[in-house]
């Protein structure tokens, strides 16, 4: 069935079939370049935290607008956390994509896998720009959903030989290790459970944090020279010493610096200045340098840029249109 205006609807399984991790990494570079180049309008996000409602929930409305007719859209994401452990997922998301020249809605895309994909790919971008080319060992803190695609992305940009996993829950860590081994591809076979944070740090060239920890996960004094650290959690996973030692400080966008304890605490302590922090898109564009020496410690904080969801969704939509994937629903 077709009409004057058709809306394409894409499920999670269809999204998975339309974009690989390698493609997703390149898509994120495009999104960060648009952000740093002033083509993405920022400051539009809004969160509703309804802890006292029945049922309690957290709902986010995350619009993205690209200038010069490049398109706009919104991601709606929710966490109805009372549903944890039930058959219904407690976290769900959709992305609505609209035409930048006519305003016509073009697609509704399942946003959970899209978010997981672009989150992992963001770490891939950061590692590609900030880790040593000869990096062979990585440690990840966290073994939950946030950590799901991190190592796959890193393995797309570096030839890892060993992965260490640090988690508060051993059973979850072992399940995560099994998931990585099942993925295969460029992921190495040597995946180990770290007995302590220090054990992972002493062995690794790349450190990734993907947790909800409200206190630093490790002591920055234990980092080896030349280590690349990428922090993806929402709270204060990283101590001030790590940022003090880092020769390169990066955030996915400027707003992250002003609103994230990882930065605001050491800024308040006088350890770093806000101007010390580059935007990831500036590294993509080459207006500020990435890693410059083999010995420097580099640090990147990622929190998510609205343009990432839109640019990723636009790419998936183009692939769906080319392949005839998805359900077409006539709106007009």
Eight-state DSSP code of residue 328 = E
Indicate whether 226 pLDDT > 60: yes
Domain that holds residue 68: 6-114+307-330
Is the same domain home to 82 and 19? yes
Is the same domain home to 102 and 50? yes
Is the same domain home to 291 and 214? yes
pLDDT score of 183: 87
Structure confidence at residue 85 as a pLDDT band (50, 70, 90): confident
pLDDT digits (tens, 9 = 90+) for 161-188: 999 999 988 999 999 999 999 988 899 9
Q: 109 in helix, strand or coil? A: strand
Q: What is the CATH classification number for the domain harbouring 207?
A: 3.40.50.720
Eight-state DSSP code of residue 131 = S
Mean pLDDT of the region 240-265:
94
Is the same domain home to 80 and 165? no
Does the reported pTM lie above 0.85? yes
Distant-in-sequence, close-in-space partners of 55: CB < 8 Å, separation ≥ 6: 80, 82, 83
pLDDT digits (tens, 9 = 90+) for 124-174: 999 999 999 999 999 999 998 888 899 999 999 999 999 999 998 899 999
How far is it, in rounded angstroms, from Cα 258 to Cα 43? 12
pLDDT score of 212: 87
**Closest to 237 (Cα-Cα) out of 132, 146, 119:** 146
Is the same domain home to 289 and 142? yes
In a domain, 184, yes or no: yes
Q: What is the CATH classification number for the domain harbouring 36?
A: 3.30.1780.10
Sheet-wide strand order for 297-301: 190-193, 162-166, 137-141, 206-209, 228-231, 297-301, 246-251, 277-279
pLDDT digits (tens, 9 = 90+) for 284-322: 999 999 999 999 999 999 999 989 999 999 999 999 999
Is the same domain home to 185 and 316? no
**Closest to 114 (Cα-Cα) out of 325, 320, 316, 305:** 316
Indicate whether 3 pLDDT > 90: no
Is the same domain home to 148 and 273? yes
Is the same domain home to 180 and 80? no
Is the same domain home to 205 and 280? yes
Indicate whether 2 pLDDT > 80: no
Is the same domain home to 230 and 102? no
Judge contact between 207 and 228, C-beta under 8 A.
yes
Q: 172 in helix, strand or coil? A: helix
Is the same domain home to 193 and 224? yes
How far is it, in rounded angstroms, from Cα 35 to Cα 266? 25
Question: Half-sphere exposure of residue 185, counting CA atoms within 13 Å on the CB side?
Answer: 15
Which has the higher per-residue pLDDT, 184 or 29?
29
Is the same domain home to 241 and 280? yes
Indicate whether 1 pLDDT > 60: no
Domain count, the chain: 2
pLDDT score of 41: 86
Distant-in-sequence, close-in-space partners of 236: CB < 8 Å, separation ≥ 6: 213, 214, 215, 216, 261, 262, 265
In a domain, 1, yes or no: no
């Amino acid at each position: 069935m077709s009409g004057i205006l058709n809306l394409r609807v894409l499920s999670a399984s269809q999204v998975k079939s339309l974009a690989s991790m390698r493609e997703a990494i390149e898509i994120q570079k495009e999104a960060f370049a648009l952000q740093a180049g002033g083509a993405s309008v920022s400051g539009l996000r809004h969160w509703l935290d309804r802890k006292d409602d029945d049922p309690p929930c957290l709902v986010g409305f995350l619009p993205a607008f690209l200038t010069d007719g490049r398109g706009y859209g919104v991601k709606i994401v929710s966490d109805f956390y009372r549903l944890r452990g039930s058959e219904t997922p407690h976290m769900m998301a959709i992305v609505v994509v609209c035409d930048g020249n006519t305003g016509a809605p073009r697609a509704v895309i399942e946003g959970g896998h899209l978010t997981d994909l672009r989150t992992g790919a963001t770490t891939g971008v950061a590692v590609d720009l900030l880790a040593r080319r000869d990096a062979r060992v990585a440690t990840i803190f966290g073994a939950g959903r946030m950590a799901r695609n991190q190592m796959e992305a890193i393995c797309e940009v570096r030839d890892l030989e060993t992965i260490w996993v640090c988690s508060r829950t051993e059973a979850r860590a072992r399940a995560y290790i099994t998931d990585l081994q099942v993925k295969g591809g460029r992921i190495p076979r040597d995946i180990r459970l770290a007995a302590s944070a220090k054990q992972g740090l002493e062995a690794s060239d790349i450190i990734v944090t993907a947790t909800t920890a409200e206190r630093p996960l490790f002591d920055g004094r234990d980092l080896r020279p030349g280590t690349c650290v990428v922090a993806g959690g929402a709270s204060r996973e990283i101590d001030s010493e790590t940022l003090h030692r880092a020769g390169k400080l990066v955030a996915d966008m400027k707003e992250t610096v002003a609103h994230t304890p990882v930065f605001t605490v050491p800024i308040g302590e006088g350890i770093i200045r806000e101007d010390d922090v580059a935007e990831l898109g500036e590294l993509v564009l080459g207006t500020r340098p990435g890693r410059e020496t083999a010995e420097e410690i580099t640090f990147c904080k990622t929190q998510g840029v609205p343009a990432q969801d839109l640019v990723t969704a636009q790419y998936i939509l183009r692939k769906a249109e080319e392949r005839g994937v998805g359900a077409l629903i006539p709106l007009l």
